[in-house]
Amino acid sequence: MAEPKVNELMEKIVSLCKRRGFIYQSSEIYGGINGFWDYGPLGAELKRNVKDAWWRTMVHHRDDVVGLEATIIMHPQIWRASGHVDTFADMMRECPMTKKRVRADQVEPQSGIAYTFLGAIYNVNMSAALEALDEYVNEYPLTSKSALNKTVLNHRIYDLLKRDFPELRRDELVTEAACLTDVLQREIHIEAFEILLPRGKPPESAQLAAQHYYSVRMGTPTLPKVIGGASAKVEASTDYHPESGVRLGPPRPFNLMLQTWVGPIQSDENVAYLRPETAQAIFAQFKNVLETSRQKVPFGIAQVGKAFRNEVTPRNFTFRSREFEQMELEFFIKPDEAVEAISGSVTPAAELDSRPSPLDTSSWGWEAWHKYWVEQRIQFYESIGLPRKDFVEYWQKPDELAHYARATVDILYKFPFSKRDEKGELMGEELEGIAARSDFDLSQHARFSGKPMGVFDEDLRTAWGKLDDAKKQTLWQRYYENRKRYLTKTARPDETPEKIEKAAKEDADGLAKGQYIPHVIEPSAGVDRLILALLCNAYTEVRTPDDKGKAETRVVMKFHPRIAPNKVGVFPLLKNKPELVKKAQEVRDLLRPHLTVFYDDAGAIGRRYARQDEAGTPFGVTIDFDTLGEKPELLDTVTLRERDTMQQTRVRIADLAAMLLEKVR
RNA sequence: GCGGGCGUAGCUCAAUGGUAGAGUUCCAGUCUUCCAAACUGGCCACGCGGGUUCGAUUCCCGUCGCCCGCUCCA
Asked if the model's pLDDT at residue A251 lies above 80, the reply is: no
Quick one: average pLDDT of A531-559? Answer: 81
Degrees (nearest 5) of the Cα angle A125, A129, A134? 100
Q: Using an 8 Å Cβ cutoff, are A601 and A575 in contact? A: yes
Closest nt by CA–C1' to A410? B74
Closest nt by CA–C1' to A554? B36
Question: Residue A432: what pLDDT?
Answer: 95
Closest CA to A112 of A237, A284, A204: A237
Specify the DSSP element, H or E, that contains A112: strand A110-121
Asked if the model's pLDDT at residue A252 lies above 80, the reply is: no
Give the model confidence (pLDDT) of A574-592 as tens digits: 998 899 999 999 999 999 9
Q: Give me the residues paired with residue A583 across strands.
A: none
Rounded (10°) angle between helices A150-164 and A170-187: 130
Q: Which nucleotides of B are covered by protein (CB under 7 A)?
A: 1-2, 7, 10-12, 25-38, 47-48, 64-74
Closest nt by CA–C1' to A552? B36
Closest nt by CA–C1' to A580? B32
Asked if the model's pLDDT at residue A518 lies above 70, the reply is: yes
Rounded to whole angstroms, the distance from the CA of residue A535 to the C1' of nucleotide B23 is 28
Which one is predicted more confidently, A281 or A495? Answer: A281
Asked if the model's pLDDT at residue A467 lies above 70, the reply is: yes
DSSP secondary-structure letter at A224?
P
Degrees (nearest 5) of the Cα angle A435, A279, A354? 30
**Residue A366 is which amino acid?**
W
C-alpha distance from residue A650 to each of A568, A607, A623, A633 (Å): 15, 21, 11, 11
Rounded (10°) angle between helices A497-512 and A469-489: 140
Question: Residue A155: what pLDDT?
Answer: 73
Which one is predicted more confidently, A239 or A190? Answer: A239
Give the model confidence (pLDDT) of A107-161 as tens digits: 777 788 888 887 777 665 566 666 766 666 666 655 544 455 666 667 777 777 7
Closest nt by CA–C1' to A546? B36
Task: Point out the residue nearest to B3 (C-alpha to C1').
Answer: A98
Lowest mean pLDDT among A218-232, A298-312, A480-494, A624-638: A218-232
Task: Point out the residue nearest to B64 (C-alpha to C1').
Answer: A31
Rounded to whole angstroms, the distance from the CA of residue A19 to the C1' of nucleotide B9 is 14
All residues at 6 or more sequence positions from A280 whose CB lies less than 8 Å from its CB, including other chains: A74, A78, A79, A81, A82, A84, A441
Quick one: average pLDDT of A212-236? Answer: 73
> Mean pLDDT across chain A, nearest whole number?
85
Question: Residue A95: what pLDDT?
Answer: 73
Split at pLDDT 50, 70, 90, the class of A460 is: very high
Rounded to whole angstroms, the distance from the CA of residue A213 to the C1' of nucleotide B48 is 32
Specify the DSSP element, H or E, that contains A622: strand A619-623
Closest nt by CA–C1' to A529? B74
Closest CA to A460 of A286, A334, A287, A361: A334
Question: Residue A3: what pLDDT?
Answer: 37
DSSP SS3 for A446: helix
Which one is predicted more confidently, A320 or A145? Answer: A320
All residues at 6 or more sequence positions from A50 whose CB lies less than 8 Å from its CB, including other chains: A384, A527, A530, A531, A534, A563
Quick one: average pLDDT of A618-646? Answer: 94
Distance in angstroms (rounded) separating the CA atoms of residues A85 and A77: 9
Half-sphere exposure of A441 (CA within 13 A, CB side): 28
Split at pLDDT 50, 70, 90, the class of A485 is: very high
Q: Regarding beta strands A568-572 and A429-436, do their DSSP bridges make them parallel or antiparallel, or are they unpaired? A: unpaired
Rounded to whole angstroms, the distance from the CA of residue A417 to the C1' of nucleotide B16 is 39
C-alpha distance from residue A289 to each of A176, A297, A302, A418 (Å): 79, 12, 11, 39
Lowest mean pLDDT among A195-199, A277-281, A351-355: A351-355
Question: Residue A218: what pLDDT?
Answer: 63
Q: Give me the residues paired with residue A553 across strands.
A: A543
Which one is predicted more confidently, A340 or A166? Answer: A340
Question: Residue A1: what pLDDT?
Answer: 30
Task: Point out the residue nearest to B71 (C-alpha to C1').
Answer: A312
Asked if the model's pLDDT at residue A450 lies above 50, the reply is: yes
Task: Point out the residue nearest to B48 (C-alpha to C1').
Answer: A31
Asked if the model's pLDDT at residue A2 lies above 70, the reply is: no
Rounded to whole angstroms, the distance from the CA of residue A137 to the C1' of nucleotide B12 is 65
Question: Residue A266: what pLDDT?
Answer: 83
Lowest mean pLDDT among A81-95, A423-437, A477-491, A617-631: A81-95
ipTM: 0.83
Rounded to whole angstroms, the distance from the CA of residue A602 to the C1' of nucleotide B27 is 9
Question: Residue A242: what pLDDT?
Answer: 77
Question: Residue A144: what pLDDT?
Answer: 42
Burial class (CB in 10 A: 0-12, 13-18, 19+), A256: middle
* CB count in 10 Å sphere of residue A29: 6
Q: Regarding beta strands A568-572 and A619-623, do their DSSP bridges make them parallel or antiparallel, or are they unpaired? A: parallel
Question: Residue A70: what pLDDT?
Answer: 97
Q: Give me the residues paired with residue A622 across strands.
A: A571, A639
Rounded to whole angstroms, the distance from the CA of residue A487 to the C1' of nucleotide B27 is 69
Rounded to whole angstroms, the distance from the CA of residue A33 to the C1' of nucleotide B68 is 20
Closest CA to A503 of A446, A438, A455, A437: A446
Closest nt by CA–C1' to A525? B74
Asked if the model's pLDDT at residue A225 lies above 90, the reply is: no
Cα end-to-end distance, chain A, whole Å: 41
For A543, list phi and psi in degrees, rounded to 5. Answer: -95, 125
Rounded to whole angstroms, the distance from the CA of residue A11 to the C1' of nucleotide B49 is 29
Quick one: average pLDDT of A553-563? Answer: 92
